[in-house]
Amino acid sequence: MHAEWTKLRTVRSTAWLVLAVVAAIVTVAVMATGSVSTSRCPSPAECFEDTTKLSLTGVWLGQIAVVVLAVLTISGEYGDRLIQTTLTANPRRLTVLLTKATVVTGMVLAASTLGVLGSLLAGRILLPGNGFTAANGYPPLSLADGSTARAAAGTVLYLGLIALLSLGIATVVRDTAGAIISVLTLLYIFPLIAELVADPQWHERLQKLAPMTAGLSIQATTGLDRLAIGPWPGLGVLAGYATGAMLLGLAVFKLRDA
């Protein structure tokens, strides 16, 4: 654990990627919450805006840095052949990969927590000035509210699962660019395909199967009956993808030569 933590924290790109996770989530939150206003609604109470989900919009961008960080955790070692040294020092491959997963996921969870708290703070500060006040039916964002706390905690878990998904795919692919493209395609192209499907039933099915669309349903705090899949079941779909990727990665890592 100490060795993997040392390797990860001493790579120059790690600090920048962790900073990018936090900065992207908070910056997009500031832009999103600062650009909406109840003045564009028939009446403030009829905006029906999910202010919690709006404040957490930055995850769409911040997850890219998470993907890159998780992929580099193992693909970087394949690139410079450090993986051979790692496996010589500790030939127990299962232990090596699970330790990498623990270290990078812990780092992502810590960065995600900062980003999520910062984005909710931005929403709490900016939204009232745009008409989203308690008088208009929009209480200030607070973790004391059960649905907001669930959305916040679920978003942090979402990014942790994205890290595991990325690490698993990177273990199979080995190549940095190939792994990043594979993960981002899975996350972003799947929802686009779903939007192009005209049949309502298949559209809903694809939304339930898309890891990003299903996973981010955890952020919804209003209109839950209109979601293709519920918040926790949606996060469970992403967990299934992450588990499958890690199991495949473990199998390949154990059976294939370094």
Residue 169: pLDDT over 90:
yes
How far apart are alpha carbons 137 and 126 in whole angstroms?
Answer: 16
**Hey, CA dihedral for 91, 97, 102, 104, is it positive or negative?**
positive
The per-residue pLDDT for range 52-102, each reduced to its tens digit, is 999 999 999 999 999 999 999 999 888 878 888 888 888 899 999 999 999
Q: Mean pLDDT across the stretch 142-146?
A: 94
How many C-beta atoms surround the C-beta of residue 228 within 10 A? 17
Confidence of residue 251 (pLDDT cuts 50, 70, 90): very high
Residue 14: pLDDT over 90:
yes
CA distances from 141 to 29, 33, 117 (A): 13, 12, 11
The per-residue pLDDT for range 92-103, each reduced to its tens digit, is 999 999 999 999
Specify the DSSP class assigned to residue 56.
T
Is the CB of residue 38 less than 8 Å from the CB of residue 134? no
How far apart are alpha carbons 46 and 36 in whole angstroms?
Answer: 14
Taking each continuous run of H as one helix and of E as one strand, the counts in the chain are: 12, 0
**pLDDT score of 258:** 60
CA distances from 191 to 71, 216, 248 (A): 22, 12, 24
Residue 214 has which token pair?
A: 């299903």
Residue 226 has which token pair?
A: 């209109």
**Type of residue found at 229:** I
What's the distance, Cα to Cα, between the start and end of the chain in Å? 20
Q: Mean pLDDT across the stretch 105-129?
A: 97
Judged on CB neighbours under 10 Å (0-12, 13-18, 19+), 205 is: middle
How far apart are alpha carbons 186 and 79 in whole angstroms?
Answer: 23
The per-residue pLDDT for range 187-241, each reduced to its tens digit, is 998 888 878 887 888 888 888 999 999 999 999 999 898 898 999 999 999 999 9
| 207 contact partners, CB below 8 Å, separation of at least 6 | 191, 194, 213, 214, 228, 229
Average pLDDT, the chain: 92
Tell me what percent of the residues of the chain surpass a pLDDT of 70.
Answer: 99
Is the CB of residue 235 less than 8 Å from the CB of residue 218? yes
Q: Looking at mean pLDDT, say which of 11-15, 133-137, 148-152, 193-197 comes out highest.
A: 148-152
